[in-house]
Amino acid sequence: MNVFELLETISFFTILLILVKPVGAFMARVYQGERTFLSPVLAPCENLLYRICGINRDEEMGWKRYARAMILFNLALFAALFAMLMLQHMLPLNPLKLPGFSWHLALNTAVSFVTNTNWQAYSGESAVSYFTQMAGLAVHNFVSAATGMAVVIALIRGFVRRKTSMLGNFWLDMTRGALYILLPISLIAALVLVSQGVIQNFSPYKTVPLVQPASYDKPKQDTTGKPVKGEKGNPVTERVTVKEVTIPMGPVASQEAIKELGTNGGGFFNANSSHPYENPTPLSNFVEILLILLIPGSLTYTFGLMAGNTRQGWALLAVMLLVLIVSFGVLQGVESIGNPLVSKLGVRGVNMEGKEVRFSLAGSSLFTVSTTGTSCGAINTMHDSLTPLGGMIPLSLILLGEIIFGGVGSGLYTMLAFAVIAVFVAGLMIGRTPEYLGKKIEVREMWMSILTILTAGIVVLVLSGIAMISPSATASMANPGAHGLSEVLYAFASMSNNNGSAFAGLNANVSFYNILGSIAMILGRYVPAVAVLAMAGSLAEKKYVPPSLGTLPTDKAPFALWLALVILIVGALTFFPALALGPIAEHFMMNM
């Protein structure tokens, strides 16, 4: 790590920590319905929306109604996006006359965006019209993020409220999250990104001559698309010279901001944030990573503030930071050692394959751990091209359950479910019926926490197992063997945990992955969300147990360390065998 990278890293975490408190406090005010400095402008809009939709702002919901509202709202959004994708050739703002999606790709994409996953089995510039990008995908980027935040706010209310069954109003929480938090920050962020060179236009794609025409050998194909073989069975190639190139355009900046801020990750272009029109400079890179971690990090402060003890929030943030920084260090370390196979050829040094030189190694590593620790899934580095152990870092961060900052809302609620489990075992170890934030942890909370933290892992285990013995699934691998196994594992990990990034070697646009992936995303998103709401409902009805010397302090270092340990042990025990056959085997093979 050179001085520039060190400074970049230190200033990054410093700025993040400085922002956590004001942003977190602001969010607490928003969700508690208090006036903020944006109210003069936004309150009339908010009221107008409620009037149009006929929402009674004084109405509170129990957990079942809250969950029903959340599910129905998401279902409606899904239907709208599904239709839009299928019918985009009939809709406006489609300068390239792009056709509609196949049904299973439309299913996968609609599920992907409504679940905040943004897994993309298509490539944006060659499949999606401007209209779909803006009216479909970008809208979902806002509302899926606001949905996650609403659920965690309901859970926090469950911890804070006493002897009530009411958790707040989903419509209000969702609207406020989008209107007061996501929109204003995205607006500012989009402007900052435009200043760095991110494009924002409705122009048709541009064709420009290449400064230096390039030639390459292209495998010859017959009319059916099969490679033509020579006499000895070797593929026949033909020389192709490229003289001009098509450059995709579009309203990128507006979508780029919410893509990071809402931990959505669905890139405008296939290359995502490694594309120079999405992420042109080291500064834009810095801003984008900050946007990814901003809300998930700040929510911990919102949580502490609403729970009446900000240290509770800081403790969770400390756990997240600890794991993130250690992961960053390991990734940075193994990538700077480089690839031994390449070293043998005499090219020593950092493994720069799949990385953008303009971001430096630290800028790439930091983006990689941030986008996989949260459920963002945007990428500025090809994870598939990382060294085996390096690639295991983003894979492991996803497999931990997207809690190292995690998705907006979903990260914190999954982390809180982990805290409930950690409190339960630790509580027993000190001889008390466990309690967290003054609420007793009983059978119902255990069930719901377990569903929250284990659903995604269970889905990964089941689906990756099915995939490895399905010929249609293994045929999609670009690199059979241990690396191919990692690609499939990564694909299901990413979809179940609603991350959305991919080990790029896998061709996922086949019905097998599109359909199973949709199932994974739905289960990984809604089982935990509903379980969390059920837990919130049960917690809200409990009375408060005041702390005493015999109460386990959950806002201090020992508990934070224990929580980190529980997270790592649960993750390691669940995925060690799979990782051993994937990245670990690949690592030892490469190094021996």
Partner 1 sequence: MTTHSATPISIFDAHIMRPALIESLKKLDPRTLWRNPVMFCVEIASFITLITFVMSITGNSPEPAWFTGLVSLWLWLTVIFSTFAEALAEGRGKARAASLRKTRTEVRAKRLKRPEFGSECEMVAGSLLRKGDFILVEAHELIAGDGEVVAGAALVNEAAVTGESAPVVRESGGDRSAVTGGTTVIANSIIVRITANPGETFLDRMISLIEGAKRRKTPNEIALEVLLIALTFVFLLVCANLSPLSIYSVKAAGHGEPVSLTILVALFVCLAPTTIAALLPAIGIAGMDRLFQKNVIALSGRAIEAAGDVNVLLLDKTGTITLGNREAVAFVPVGGHTEQELAKAAMMSSLTDETPEGRSIVVLAKQKYGLRAEELPTYAENVPFSAETRLSGVNLEGKRYRKGASDSIITFVRESGGKVNPDGLERVVDEIARAGATPLVVCIDAEIYGVINLKDIVKGGIQERFQQLRSMGIKTIMITGDNPLTAAAIAAEAQVDDFLAQAKPEDKLRLIRDNQQAGYMVAMTGDGTNDAPALAQADVAVAMNTGTQPAREAANIIDLDSNPTKLLDIVEIGKQILMTRGNLTTFSISNDIAKYFAIIPAALLSIYPQLGALNVMGLSSPFSAILSAVIFNAVVIPALVPLALKGTRFRPLPAEKLLIWNLLVFGVGGIITPFIGIKAIDLVVGMFV
Question: How is residue 442 annotated by DSSP?
Answer: -
Q: Which is nearer to partner 1, 156 or 485 (CB)?
A: 485
**Near partner 1 by CB under 8 A: residue from 283, 468, 515, 527:** 468
Nearer to partner 1, 95 or 547 (CB): 547
Using rule CB under 8 A, residue 340 touches partner 1: no
Candidates 168, 265, 313, 427; binder of partner 1 (CB under 8 A) is: 427
CB of 399 to partner 1, least distance (A): 12
Return the structure tokens found at 283: 């500064």
Helix axes 3-31, 360-373, angle to 10 degrees: 30
Angle ∠(245,251,256) on CA atoms, nearest 5: 100
Shortest Å, Cβ 494 to partner 1? 17
Does residue 124 interact with partner 1 by CB under 8 A?
no
Examine residue 309 and tell whether it contacts partner 1 (CB under 8 A): no
- Please pick, from the candidates 429, 475, 478, 507, the single residue that binds partner 1 as defined by CB under 8 A: 429
581 binds partner 1 (CB under 8 A): yes
Distance CA 293, CA 302 (A): 14
**Least distance to partner 1, CB of residue 420, Å:** 11
Measured from the CB of residue 587, what is the shortest distance to partner 1 in angstroms? 9
Task: Identify which of residues 132 and 574 has a Cβ nearer to partner 1 in the complex.
Answer: 574
Half-sphere exposure of 259 (CA within 13 A, CB side): 31
CA nearest neighbour of 511 among 519, 522, 499, 503: 519
Which CB, 38 or 527, lies closer to partner 1? 527
Query: Does 308 sit near partner 1 (CB under 8 A)?
Result: no
CB of 571 to partner 1, least distance (A): 11
Integer Cα distance of 287 and 269 in angstroms: 19
Distance (Å, whole) CA 154 – CA 151:
5
Q: How far is the CB of 16 from partner 1 (least distance, A)?
A: 29
Looking at the Cβ atoms of 236 and 330, the one nearer to partner 1 is: 330
Question: 368: closest CA among 388, 393, 351?
Answer: 393
How far apart (Å, rounded) are the C-alpha atoms in residues 149 and 529?
11
Q: If DSSP codes are grouped into helix, strand and coil, which group holds residue 290?
A: helix
Query: In this complex, which beta carbon is closest to partner 1, that of residue 212 or of residue 548?
Result: 548
- How many chain residues touch partner 1 (CB under 8 A)? 65
Q: How far is the CB of 497 from partner 1 (least distance, A)?
A: 15
Binding span for partner 1 by CB under 8 A among 99-107, 404-412, 525-533, 539-547:
539-547
Q: Which of 96, 326, 458, 510 is the binder for partner 1 (CB under 8 A)? A: 458
Give the separation between CA 70 and CA 168, rounded to whole angstroms. 12
CA angle 177, 167, 455 (to 5 degrees): 80
478 binds partner 1 (CB under 8 A): no
Q: Which long-range contacts (CB under 8 A, 24 or more apart) does 29-38 make?
A: 30/176, 30/177, 30/180, 30/181, 31/153, 31/168, 31/173, 31/176, 31/177, 31/302, 31/306, 32/306, 33/172, 33/176, 36/180, 38/180, 38/184
Which of 538, 465, 525, 471 is CA-nearest to residue 495? Answer: 525
> Which of these, 172, 151, 186, lies nearest to 46 by C-alpha position?
172
The least distance separating partner 1 from the CB of residue 295, rounded to whole angstroms, comes to: 30
**Residue 267 CB contacts under 8 Å (≥ 6 apart), including other chains:** 120, 124, 259, 273, 275, 278, 378, 379
Site membership for partner 1, residue 163 (CB under 8 A): no
For 71, the token pair is 């599910």
Q: How far apart are CA 538 and CA 443, in angstroms?
A: 10
- Decide whether 89 or 444 has the Cβ nearer to partner 1: 444
Counting contacts by CB under 8 A, is residue 589 touching partner 1? yes
Residues ≥6 apart with Cβ < 8 Å to 465: none
- Assess 399 for contact with partner 1 (CB under 8 A): no
Contact segment (CB under 8 A) with partner 1 among 98-106, 234-242, 526-534, 568-576 equals 568-576
How near is the Cβ of 575 to partner 1 at its closest, in Å? 8
Burial call 166-185: b when 16+ CB within 10 Å, e when fewer:
bbbbbbbbbbbbbbbbbbeb
DSSP per-residue string spanning 385-408: GS-HHHHHHHHHHHHTTSTTTTST
Q: Does 524 bind partner 1 (CB under 8 A)?
A: no
Residue 493 CB, shortest distance to partner 1, in Å, is 12
Regarding 227 and contact with partner 1 (CB under 8 A), the answer is no
Kindly state the tokens that stand for 23.
């942003």
Answer for which of 20, 376, 461, 540 binds partner 1 (CB under 8 A) is 461
Question: Quick one: 76 or 572, whose CB is closer to partner 1?
Answer: 572
The nearer residue to partner 1, 7 or 572, going by C-beta atoms, is 572
Q: Which stretch binds partner 1 (CB under 8 A): 120-128, 177-185, 495-503, 573-581?
A: 573-581
Q: Interface with partner 1 includes 425 (CB under 8 A)?
A: yes
Binding site for partner 1 (CB under 8 A): 421, 424-433, 438, 441-443, 445-447, 450, 454, 457-458, 461-462, 464-466, 468-469, 474, 480-482, 484-485, 543-546, 548-553, 556, 558-559, 562, 565, 569, 572-578, 580-581, 584-585, 588-589, 592
